[in-house]
Structure 1
Amino acid sequence: MDQQVSEKKGLAKLVGGTYSRWITLGIWISLVVILNAVFPQGNSQTNENAQNLADSLPSVQAEQIAKQEFPSESGVPALIVLHREKGMTDGDVQIVQQLTAAFTQEPLPNQSLIVPLHELPLPAVKGQLSEDGSTFVLPIFFNKEADVDQLKESMDQFQERVDQITNADLFAADVDSSEELSARITGPVGIQIDATGLFSDADVSLLIATVILVLVFLLLIYRSPILALIPLVAVGFAYGVISPLLGWMAREEWIVVDSQGLSIMTVLLFGAGTDYCLFLIARFRQLLMVESSKTKALFQAVTGSTGAIAMSGFTVVISLLALLLADYGGLNRFAIPFSLSILIMMIASITLVPAMLAIIGRTSFFPFVPRTLEMRRERAQRKGKPEPKPQKPNRFGVMIGNWITQKPWTVILATIVLLGSFAAFSPQVKYTFDTLSSFPEDVPSREGFQLIGEHFSQGELAPAKVIVDTEGKDLPLQEKLGELEKVAKVLEPKSGQNNPDIVSAEVEFTLNPYGNEAMDFIPLLMEETRKILQDAGIADADSKVWIAGQTAEQYDTRETTDADAKRIIPVVIIMIALLLLLYLRSFIAMLYLMGTVLLSYFSALGLGWIVIHYFMGADAIQGFIPLYAFVFLVALGEDYNIFMVSSIWKKRKQMPLKQAIREGVAETGSVITSAGLILAGTFAVLATLPIQVLVHFGLITAIGVLLDTFIVRPFLVPAITSVLGSLAFWPGKHREVETATEQGATTHL
C-alpha cells in the first residue's frame, strides 16, 4: 500500500510539478498535432457496408450460392414507389415507361438491371398497378459490390434525371395528395441509404448538443466559466488523439468503424470523460479549502483520486473489450473504438487535467474561488468585512448519511421494493430487428414501404429466396411452398447458371418481411423445404437447402446476437467482479456491489420499457439494446460505487465504520450527483435524434445512470455496508476505530 501511495505521489509530481506541468501539456499538444498531421480522421474511414454475419451462417452461404448461380438476380434492388392517391393516369404510367427507356439507354452507375417496361404495350404495364390503380413499384437493381456512398450517388443522379424527364419534383410531392404524382425510394437500397444518412447527420448534431449540455451543466454546478471549460478541453484533446488513431487502424484494416459507432463513442467520451475529470476536480476543490498551497492540494488530490479513477476506467475498458467476443460484426467492431476512447480519456483525466489545474490554480474556480479559513479571514480583514464563518458541511449529504446508518434495513427494503417493481417489467420487453421501425415516419424509404404494404403485399419489399439442390429431380417447390399459410406468392423456380441442379424460388410473405413474425417463419420455411426434398428421396436434405434474403439475414442476426449476449454478459460480470476483488480485497463487497448494479440494470430496462411502450407508444425496442445497455450500465454503474466505496474504505481506518459511511456518503454525494446528471444527460441527448434505436438506447441508459446516481449509490450500497459491518470486508479484516483520529477529519463537498 505504501508503494502504491508513493507511485501516486510520483505521478502527481510528474504531471503537476513546476516544470512538468508544462511538459505534460506540451506532450498532449504534440500528440494531437502529430497524429492529426500523419493519420486520417476516424470519420473519414467509416465502412457502412461491413459484413455483420459470419460466412458460416445459412443466410450468408445462401447469398454466396445466389451470387454464383443466379448472377442476373443477385443485384440489390431499389424499389421506386410511384403513387397518386386518386389513381394513376395513363400519363403517369407512360412516365414509368419513359424512365425505364431512359435508364436502359443510359444506365446509372453500378446499375445491373432495370425491367424494360417501355418495350411492353401500355395495357400490360397498367396491369402491374395495385388493385386500386394508385400505386406502381419500379425495381432497379444494383451491383452487390457497390457501397453505400456509391449507391447514394446513383440514386441522387436518378432523382435529378427523373426531375428533368418529368419537369416535376416527384420525390418532394406529398404521398397523401390526390392531385400530385409522388415517388419514394425504398427496398434494400433505399433503406440502406436512409440509415446511413440518418447516422451521418446525427454525428454532427449529437456532438454539438452534447458539448452544449455538458457546458451548461458544468456552469450550473460550479458557476465557473474556466472550470466548465477544463473538462471539455480535456475531452477535446482526448478526441484529438482518438480520432486519428482510429482512422489509422481503420485505414490499415485492423478495425472497422461506422457512423453509428462513432456517434455513440462521442456520447460515451463526453459523459464518462467529464465524470473522470470531475472526480479529480471535486477532490482538488475540497482540499483547497483546507490547504493553503495549491501545489500540495493538487498533489493530494491526484494521490487520493487516481486509484479510483484508474479502477473506474479499467472497469469500463475491460467491459467494452468483452465485445470482441461477439460474432455479430455490429457488436464486435464497437469494442476497440469504445475501449480505446475510455482508456485515453482516463489517461487524460489523470495527466492533462492535473497539469491544467496546476497551471491555472485556484483561478480555475473563479469567481467562487475556494480558500482556507485563514485565507478568507485575511481577505476579509484587508477589505474590512466581517470575519467569515467556517465552511459548513453538506447538510443534505449528512442527513442522508445519518438516516442510512440509523435505519439501514428500512433503506434496503424501500430501495429493493422500488427497484424490484421496475425490474418486474423487464421480462415484458418486446424486441425487433426491423430497421425501418427505427426511422422517422417521414423518411422516404419508410413512406415507400408503407405504400407497398397498403396497396400490395408487404412481402414484395424483400422476398425470401429458397435455394435447393434438386439432384436433377423435378420438385413441386412452387406448389408446396405456396400452400404455406404465411406465403403470398411463389415465383416460378429457376435453375442455376453453372449447376442446373441448383434451383431457386422467390417466396413473398403475406406479412412484413422485416418483422418478428416473418423471422419466426424462416425455420418453418426451411423445414418444409427440407421435407419436400426428403419426400422426393433426396438424402441429406439438411445440407441441400438454403434461404437468402433480408428476412433470413435478420433471423441469423437475432440468433447470433442472442448467442453473443449469453457469452458476453457472464464474461463482463466475471471480469468486473475480479477487478473489484483485487481493488477492494473483499469477496462480500464484490458480491453486493455486483448485485446492486445488476438490479439497477434490470430496473432500468423495466422502467425504460414503461416509458418507451406505455408513454411513447413503441411496440418493441431493437434487439441489440439490452446487451449494449448492459455493458454500459454495469461498467459505468460500478464507477460510482467504486468512487464512493473507496472513500468509505479509507475513512474507516481513522473513524468508526458508521461514521465513515456517513462521511463517505456526504463527501462523495455532490460530485457523484453532478457526474451522474452529466452522464445521464449526455445519453439522453440521443433521445433528441430521429433514430429510434438511439432514442431507446439513450433513454434506457440515462434511466439506469440516474437510478445508480440517486438510489443505488447514495442509499442501497451504503445501507448494505452498514448492515454487514465488519463482514463487508471479508476475507479482509476490519478493525473498528472507536473515535475519529485527527487524520480522519474531513471537509465536505
Structure 2
Amino acid sequence: MERMVDASSLGVLAKWTTGPRSKWITLFIWIVCTVVASLAFPAASRVERNNASYLPSSAPSVQAEQRIEENFPASTGAPALVVWYDKKGLTNTDIEIIKNVSERLRSHPVASQIAVPPLASMPAAALAPWMSKDKTTLVLPITLKSSATQAQLHQAVVQIQHAVEAAAGSRAIQGPLSGNGLHVRITGPVGIAVDAVSLFQHADFALLMATTLLVLALLIVIYRSPILAFVPLVTVGIAYGLISPILGELAAHHWITFDAQTTSIMTVLLFGAGTDYCLLMVARYREQLYQSEDKYSAIRRAVGGSAGAIAMSGLTVALALLSLLFAHYQSYHEFAVPFCLAIAIMALAGVTLLPALLAILGRVAFFPFIPRPEAGTKTTSPSPSRVRRGEPGALSRWVGHTVTSRSGIVTALGMLILIGLGLFTFQIRTTYSLISSFPPSMPSREGYTILSEHFAKGALAPVELLVPSDSAQAVTKALKDEPYIDTAYVAATNTHNRVALVDITLATDPYSNTAMADLARIHSVAEKALDAQSTDRAKNQVWISGPTATQADTKALTNRDTGVVMPIVIGMIALLLFMYLRSIVAVVYLIVTVVLSYVGALGAGWLVIHYALGSPAIQGAIPLYAFVFLVALGEDYNIFVLSRIWQAKGRVPHQEAIEQAVSSTSSVITSAGLILAGTFAVLASLPIQVLVQFGIVSAIGVLLDTFVVRPFIVPAITSLCGRFAYWPSYPSAKNHP
C-alpha cells in the first residue's frame, strides 16, 4: 500500500464528525456515552485493588509462604510493629501504658488480629526481648491475618492508633520525634502497606488538579486564546469520564485489576498524550483556516491531514503498552489493559470529538488572534523577510534548512549527545525497597528509622525458613556462625509433618540489595547443613519466606520481564511503523534513535536523581516503566514528522520535503513535547519516590525527543539516506529525486 492513509476513509470520518448537523450528533453521542457509563458503572478509583499480590503463585517466596501457612497457621500473618520510643529512656509510666495497650488489644482485638504478646502479665525483666539495649525503644508486634484486605489492614491500624491515643494521648502518635516524651509509630509490613496506599490515594486529586492547571497554563501561553486552551481539556475530560467507569466495570467483574499507582500514571498519560493529539489537529485546522473562508472545509482538510497520524500514534502507544501483558510481575502486567484502553479511547476522541468541537466553535476558538485567509499580507510587494500568517517562523525554517544542509554534522552531534548521556547508565544503582520510596516524615518510615537505630536492622522484617524438623537445630547452629545474621532460632515445630520454622534476623537492612544477596548465602548454608544430616535430596528442601524473599523475587521477575517485554515492544513498534511507512530503512533508524533517546534519558535521569536530589539508587521498576512509555511516545513525534515528509515525497524533491515537514511541524511538536514533559514533571511534585523518579526520567526523555531527536537527528538521517529512506517503497519515476 503506497499511500499511508486511505483518503476516502478520512473523508467519511470528517463528514460524519464535522458537518453542520453531524458535529452536534458527535458531541451528543460522546456526552451521552460518558454520562450513562458514569451512572451505570463504578469509577475506577472505587475498585482499585491495592493489596493484591504482585508476585505470581510460582514465585519461590509465595510457595514458601503457602507451605509455612499450611504447617504453622498460628505463626503466620502480617506483622504490624508498634514502636514505642522515648529518647531519654522509657519510664515506668511508659511501660504501664504499653502493658495497658497490650491488654486492651488482647481483650478487644482489632480487625483481622491473630496474636498480641501478653506483656501485661510479664514482669519487667521478661520485657527484654522486646526492648532495645539502651531502654529507649520497645516493639509491640501485632500479628494480623495474611489474607486481610487493604481495607481491613487500614481499619486495624486506625484501631491500634485509637488504643494508643486512649492510653498515651494523641501527641504520642502525632507529635514530632524531636520532642520529649513518649512517641509511637506503626511500621513493619502492615504499616508500610497502609502508608503506601494512603500516599497514592491522597496524591490522586492533587495530581489531577496540578496536571489540569499546568496544561491549561501552557495552552494559554501557546495559543494566547482562553477559549482554545479549554478545548483540549474538555476533550481529555470527556474521554477520561468515559474511560474511568469502563475500567471500573471491567475491574468489578474481575476481568482486570489495577491499583492507585496505575490510575495516577494513567491520569498523566491521558493529559499528556491526549493534549498532543489535540495540538496536532488544532495546528492543521489553523493552517487550513488561513487558506479557506469555509470553516467546514478547513476542518475536513485538517482531519484528512492529521487523523491518520493521530490514529497511528494511538495504535503504536496502545499496542506497546499492551505488550506488558507478557510481564509476569503484576505491577507491570496490570498496566497493560487500562493504559491500552485509555489511549485507544483518547485517540478516538482526538479524531472524532475534537474535530466536532472545533467545527462548532469555528474561528471563534482562536479569539482574539483569529486566523483568516491572507490576513495581514495585502501589500503588493512584501519584504522577503516577512512571513505570511500561518506559515512557519524564522526559527522553524532555520531548523528545517539546517538538518538538510548540514545533515552529517547534525546527525553526529545529536548521536554524541545521546550516547554521552547514555554512558551514565553504567553508574545506575537500583533498589527494590518500598520504604525508601516514602518521604522521611511518613509514620512507617519514622518507625523503621527508630528500629534501625536501636535494634538490629533486620528486626523490621525477619526471614522465615522452613526446613525438616530433624535437621532444624543443625541448620540454626550453622546460620548463627554467619556474620550477616544477627539471630536465628527455631520458632515452631510441626511434628506431624516433620518440618520446623526457623526465624532469622539479618544484621543488615532487610530491604537492601545486600540482604537479597544474603538470602542466597542462607539457602546455601542451610542446604549444606541438611546434606550433612541426610543424603535424601528430595527431603532436604529449604523454603525461604518474608519481605526480603519477596523483594528478591521481585528483582528476579523484573529482570525477566525487562528481557522479554523490551524486545516485544521494539518488534511491535517496528512492525507498525513498517505497515505505515512501507520502509525498512526508515523503521531501522527510527527504532535506533528512539532507543538511544531512552538510554540518554535514563542516564540524564540518573544524574538528576543521584547527584542533584541525592538518592543513592533508583527504584528497580523505573527502567522498564520508562522504556515502554518513552519508546512508544517517542515514536509519536517521529510519526508526526515523517507523515509530512511521506505525504510530500511525490510532490517536491526529497530534501525540500524534509525541510517543509520539519518547518511546518516544529512549533506544534515543540508545544506538544513541552506539555507532555510538563505533565510527567508533575509527578516529581508527589511525595512518592517511584513516581518522582519515573516523572523525572520520562520528562527528560520527552524533552530529548522534542528538542534533539525529532527536529534534528531523524530529519538529518532521512536527509542523509536520500531516496533510500523510502526503501523498498521508492517514489515512482515521475516523482522528484
For Structure 1 versus Structure 2, the TM-score category normalised by the shorter chain is: over 0.9
Opposite residue 533 of structure 1, the aligned amino acid is: L
Instruction: Tell me which of 556, 575, 578 is aligned to 1:578.
Output: 575
Q: 3-state DSSP class of the match of 2:111?
A: coil
Q: Are residues 1:481 and 2:483 paired? A: no
Q: Are residues 1:717 and 2:714 paired? A: yes
Distance 1:124 1:524 in 2: 33
Aligned counterpart, 2:14 = 12
Q: Are residues 1:248 and 2:249 paired? A: yes
Structure 2 length-normalised TM: 0.96
CA distance 1:18–1:168, change in 2 (3 Å): closer
Distance 1:393 1:270 in 2: 26
Aligned counterpart, 2:504 = 507
Q: 3-state DSSP class of the match of 1:71?
A: coil
Distance 2:526 2:270 in 1: 49
Aligned counterpart, 2:407 = 408
Q: 3-state DSSP class of the match of 1:505?
A: strand
Maintained 8 Å contact 1:194/1:443: yes
Aligned counterpart, 1:639 = 636
Q: Are residues 1:568 and 2:565 paired? A: yes
1:456-535 matches, cutoff 5 A: 456-470=455-469, 472=470, 475-496=473-494, 499-535=496-532
1:426-441 matches, cutoff 5 A: 426-441=425-440
Q: 3-state DSSP class of the match of 1:80?
A: strand
Maintained 8 Å contact 1:419/1:599: yes
Identity of aligned residues (%): 45
CA distance 1:469–1:650, change in 2 (3 Å): same
CA distance 1:320–1:393, change in 2 (3 Å): closer
Maintained 8 Å contact 1:184/1:448: yes
Aligned counterpart, 1:261 = 262
Opposite residue 133 of structure 1, the aligned amino acid is: K
Maintained 8 Å contact 1:47/1:257: yes
CA distance 1:735–1:44, change in 2 (3 Å): same
Maintained 8 Å contact 2:475/2:530: no
CA distance 1:250–1:204, change in 2 (3 Å): same
Deviation at 1:482, TM superposition (A): 1.0
Maintained 8 Å contact 2:283/2:668: yes
Aligned counterpart, 2:605 = 608
Deviation at 1:54, TM superposition (A): 1.3
Opposite residue 77 of structure 1, the aligned amino acid is: P
Deviation at 1:56, TM superposition (A): 1.5
Opposite residue 519 of structure 2, the aligned amino acid is: I
1:216-227 matches, cutoff 5 A: 216-227=217-228
Distance 1:17 1:494 in 2: 76
Maintained 8 Å contact 1:67/1:74: yes
1:24-39 matches, cutoff 5 A: 24-39=26-41
Q: Are residues 1:183 and 2:184 paired? A: yes
Distance 2:722 2:349 in 1: 37
Aligned counterpart, 1:110 = 112
CA offsets per residue over residues 542-584 of structure 1, 9 Å max, x none?
8721001000011011101110110100000000000011100
Q: 3-state DSSP class of the match of 1:467?
A: strand
Aligned counterpart, 2:674 = 677
Q: 3-state DSSP class of the match of 1:185?
A: strand
Unaligned runs of 5+ in 2: 380-385
Deviation at 1:166, TM superposition (A): 2.3
Distance 2:565 2:387 in 1: 56
Q: Are residues 1:341 and 2:342 paired? A: yes
Deviation at 1:122, TM superposition (A): 2.1
Distance 2:78 2:41 in 1: 34
Distance 2:672 2:142 in 1: 51
CA distance 1:517–1:316, change in 2 (3 Å): same
Distance 1:474 1:15 in 2: 74
Deviation at 1:496, TM superposition (A): 2.2
Opposite residue 216 of structure 1, the aligned amino acid is: A
Aligned counterpart, 2:323 = 322
Deviation at 1:490, TM superposition (A): 0.4
Q: 3-state DSSP class of the match of 2:142?
A: strand
Q: How many residue pairs are counted as aligned between the two chains?
A: 729
Maintained 8 Å contact 1:320/1:338: yes
Deviation at 1:288, TM superposition (A): 0.6
CA distance 1:418–1:388, change in 2 (3 Å): closer
Aligned counterpart, 1:364 = 365
Aligned counterpart, 1:698 = 695
Q: 3-state DSSP class of the match of 1:243?
A: helix
Distance 1:161 1:629 in 2: 43
Structure 1 length-normalised TM: 0.95
Opposite residue 454 of structure 2, the aligned amino acid is: H
CA offsets per residue over residues 380-431 of structure 1, 9 Å max, x none?
xxxxxxx997665311011111111111111111111111110001121110
Instruction: Tell me which of 610, 614, 619 is aligned to 1:617.
Output: 614
CA offsets per residue over residues 366-393 of structure 1, 9 Å max, x none?
1111110179869xxxxxxxx9976653
CA distance 1:374–1:172, change in 2 (3 Å): closer
1:70-85 matches, cutoff 5 A: 70-85=72-87
1:184-223 matches, cutoff 5 A: 184-223=185-224
Maintained 8 Å contact 2:317/2:340: yes
Aligned counterpart, 1:444 = 443
Aligned counterpart, 1:653 = 650
Q: 3-state DSSP class of the match of 1:393?
A: coil
Deviation at 1:738, TM superposition (A): 8.5
CA offsets per residue over residues 612-643 of structure 1, 9 Å max, x none?
11111101011111000000000000000000
CA offsets per residue over residues 155-198 of structure 1, 9 Å max, x none?
11221222122245211122233x21101110001000000000
Deviation at 1:541, TM superposition (A): 4.9
Maintained 8 Å contact 1:173/1:180: no
Aligned counterpart, 1:747 = none
Opposite residue 8 of structure 1, the aligned amino acid is: L
Maintained 8 Å contact 1:460/1:509: yes
Maintained 8 Å contact 2:397/2:659: yes
Deviation at 1:3, TM superposition (A): 8.2
Deviation at 1:53, TM superposition (A): 1.0
Opposite residue 157 of structure 2, the aligned amino acid is: M
Deviation at 1:524, TM superposition (A): 1.6
Aligned counterpart, 1:53 = 55
Distance 2:249 2:93 in 1: 54
Aligned counterpart, 1:663 = 660
Opposite residue 209 of structure 1, the aligned amino acid is: A
Instruction: Tell me which of 101, 121, 125 is aligned to 2:123.
Output: 121
Aligned counterpart, 1:746 = none
CA distance 1:546–1:135, change in 2 (3 Å): same
Distance 1:731 1:610 in 2: 41
Deviation at 1:40, TM superposition (A): 0.6
Maintained 8 Å contact 1:475/1:533: no
Maintained 8 Å contact 2:286/2:390: no
Deviation at 1:309, TM superposition (A): 0.5
Distance 1:316 1:452 in 2: 45
Distance 1:678 1:457 in 2: 47
Q: 3-state DSSP class of the match of 2:74?
A: helix
Q: 3-state DSSP class of the match of 1:125?
A: helix
Q: 3-state DSSP class of the match of 2:501?
A: strand
Maintained 8 Å contact 2:649/2:735: no
Q: 3-state DSSP class of the match of 1:492?
A: strand
Maintained 8 Å contact 2:387/2:393: no
Opposite residue 494 of structure 2, the aligned amino acid is: G
1:245-324 matches, cutoff 5 A: 245-324=246-325
Deviation at 1:223, TM superposition (A): 0.8
CA distance 1:195–1:101, change in 2 (3 Å): same
CA distance 1:51–1:26, change in 2 (3 Å): same
Distance 1:2 1:415 in 2: 28
Distance 2:490 2:651 in 1: 83
Deviation at 1:486, TM superposition (A): 0.6
1:90-109 matches, cutoff 5 A: 90-109=92-111
Aligned counterpart, 1:745 = none
Deviation at 1:595, TM superposition (A): 0.4
CA distance 1:88–1:659, change in 2 (3 Å): same
CA distance 1:3–1:644, change in 2 (3 Å): closer
